[in-house]
Each structure stands twice: as structure tokens, then as C-alpha cells.
Amino acid sequence: MTVVIGRIYTKTSPLLFLNLFQNLKILSRIQEILNSIQDDKIKNMEILKNEPLSKHTFYGVGGLADELWKVDDAESFAEVWAETQAKKIPFLILGKGSNLLCSDAGFRGRVFSLEFKKITWNAPSLFRKEGAGGRFVTVEAGKPWQEFVEETNKKGYEDLCNLSGIPGNFGGFVRGNAGAFGLETGDFVQTVEFLDSNGKRKIFTKEQCEFGYRESIFKHHPEYCILRATLQLKQKAEPDQSLQKTRTLLADRWKKYPPGKSGGSFFKNPSPARGDVLSETEEPHEKLFAGKLLEEAGAKGDQIGHAQISERHANFIVNLEGKATQENILALARKWKQKVHEKFGITLEPEIMILDEYGKKIQV
């Protein structure tokens, strides 16, 4: 066989020609890998292998995740989301890591940390109602909630002051309809943009979101990934006064929180009407408080392993010295759920999301 290399003519065996062809295939594969790396940079994603979830959750609990994806751009996420769904790869949207208790065994799949956080004021919308007052602001899911509240204050709005001091990201607030002092995130939402299981972008109106007490349609459709939402703000105020109000409420709230690692309030507040948890449509007026019921049942200070019911607030389970396991915390929660039921006939339900290593919810 004769091979032409430049202007040099040489005879070579079929075996050498095969080796040359294989080397070209290897070079081609290397180029594909380099292109893939470049694509990852373009998509603004970093993938961490065998990453401890304990580093990414407020509880400080959780074993190694197979993959933790840091996603910095909402627009480039759709393809990865669709692929994850199509291949039925277990997934978890991490957010800020509050209100989440992960498995000691870690996570066998993809954990997505959504870190895109742009804010757009008065963004155009097809769903905006004619003559609607106030000002509209569109916020991406990864925006830390407290930062967002303070930015609205600086723009001269105080609508969200009472929701300051609650840990979490914007997307988590919308998903769980977080609230305090009679206000809920859903009160302000106009539209929510999300990815469906095919990676297609869709928009729900406020009504379609089905907001209820600590509920929304997104809690029941994990295949929906919130990208951003548009809120309507109406309460004008002097920026300095508004910001001061927020920071005062923030300081007051943190004084009530127990020190140490905790995921926040463990149980939802129950409904006084039925001695049961609130449904999606009930309003928590004149509600009972889970913390008060737990305190009266004698929960404060009780401990299993390194998990302890806080001495300061009975609805907080604290991870002592960062050594508590999911098993410790679950055992303690189950114990006091049962005792509250025995004493008051009331069934407490968790506000915390508790997951096994495949992303399945664990019952308390």
C-alpha cells in the first residue's frame, strides 16, 4: 500500500495504516472532549463529583452526591433538564439547602444548585392585567430571598418586609409559598416561568400555580423546574425607612432562632378547625402553633444521638456539633409527632422535605 504524506511517497503495511487510523480516531475523541468542556463553559455549569451534601444544607446532614451541578444560567439549563428527565436519572433541586433533610447515604443521581439570580424591573409580560397598579419585578430562582427583599426596599417598596429573615432562595419561596405574619409569597406572584419534563419553557398565571398554605402546584410536580417569577409590588415607602424596617424585623427574627445547625421549623402549623394540617385552600387564621404544642407535650431539650429539640424553640431540631444523622433527626421527629397526637389528638406534618438517596420522600 502506498500512502502520500505531503510530497513524500512511502510504502506501508495495512497494519501501520490501521494504527494511523486508530490514532486519528483518538485525536478526534480528544477534540470532542475539549469541545464538550468548552460547551460546559458556555452553558455556565460546573459539575462536582462525589460532593458532600452536608456542605450545602442548613442541617449540615447528607452523604455524597454522585453529581452536583452548579447552574449559573437559566437559558442553557433546558437541555440538561430534559435529558435528566428522559433518562429517568434521579434529581434534586437544591436551592439554598434550607427546609431540606438529605440522606446519610447521599444522593444517587444529579443534584442541581440553581445559582442564576438576575432581577428585571418592569419586564414586559403577556399576562399582565390591564390597568394593574404598582410595579412589576421578575426574579430568577437562584436569587437569595433576603437580598431580593432588601433590593425592593432600595427601590422604595416595603411589601415584603414581613417576609425578611426567612432563609432560602427565591425559587424555593415560590415553590413552597413561604410566609410569615399573615403574608405569603403567592400573594404577590403574577406569573411563574418554569421548565416542564421535556425542557420546554412554560408560564403559569397566579391562579394556575394553585397556591395554598405552604403549598403550590410545583410541590406536587417535581418535574417542573422554576426558572423565574414576576411579582407585583404596591406599597411605596421611603427607601431608607423601608430598609430599616426590614433589618429590624430580620434582627428580631434571628433572636428567636436557636443557635446551631437547623433546617428551620420542622412541622407545619395545624388547623384549629379539624385538629389536622391545613389543606391547600385553608387560611391559617387563629391557627395553633406546632412549636407551642410540642412545648406543652414536653419536647424541649429532648435528644436522640446528636439531634436535639431546641431549648429555645420546640419546633426546631438542632444538629449538635454537626454530628447528627438523618436517622437521629427522623427518630426524634417521629417520637414527638406521636406524643403530640396522644396528648392533643392533632397530627403534625413536616414542613421540612425529607429524602432518601434516590430522591423519594420519607414519611415522618
Q: pLDDT tens digits, the chain, 364 residues: what are they?
A: 544 434 434 455 555 545 655 666 655 654 554 455 444 444 569 999 999 999 999 999 999 999 999 999 998 899 999 999 999 999 999 988 989 999 999 999 999 999 999 999 986 665 655 455 689 999 999 999 999 999 999 999 999 999 998 889 999 999 999 998 889 999 999 999 999 999 999 999 999 999 998 999 999 999 999 999 999 999 999 999 999 999 998 888 888 888 889 998 999 999 654 344 433 334 444 468 999 999 999 999 999 999 999 999 999 999 999 999 999 999 999 999 999 999 999 999 999 999 999 999 999 9
Residues marked active site are found at 214, 265, 351
In this structure, which long-range contacts are made by residues 143-151, counting pairs with CB atoms below 8 Å and at least 24 apart in sequence? 143/117, 143/118, 143/119, 143/169, 143/170, 144/96, 144/117, 144/168, 144/169, 144/170, 145/96, 145/169, 145/170, 145/172, 145/173, 145/178, 146/250, 147/117, 148/119, 149/246, 150/243, 150/246, 150/247, 151/119
Distance CA 70, CA 163 (A): 27
Predicted pLDDT at 31: 59
For the whole model, what pTM was predicted? 0.80
Q: Do the beta carbons of residue 69 and residue 112 sit within 8 Å? A: yes
List of domains in the chain: 44-114 (3.30.43.10), 119-246 (3.30.465.10), 259-354 (3.90.78.10)
Predicted pLDDT at 38: 46
The residue assigned the cell 423546574 is: 225
Predicted pLDDT at 21: 53
Predicted pLDDT at 182: 85
Which value, in Å, is the radius of gyration of the alpha carbons in the chain?
A: 25
Predicted pLDDT at 128: 57
Work out the burial of residue 219: count CB atoms within 10 Å of its CB; fewer than 13 is exposed, 13-18 middle, 19 or more buried. middle
Backbone angles phi, psi at 206, to 5 degrees: -55, -45
Predicted pLDDT at 5: 37
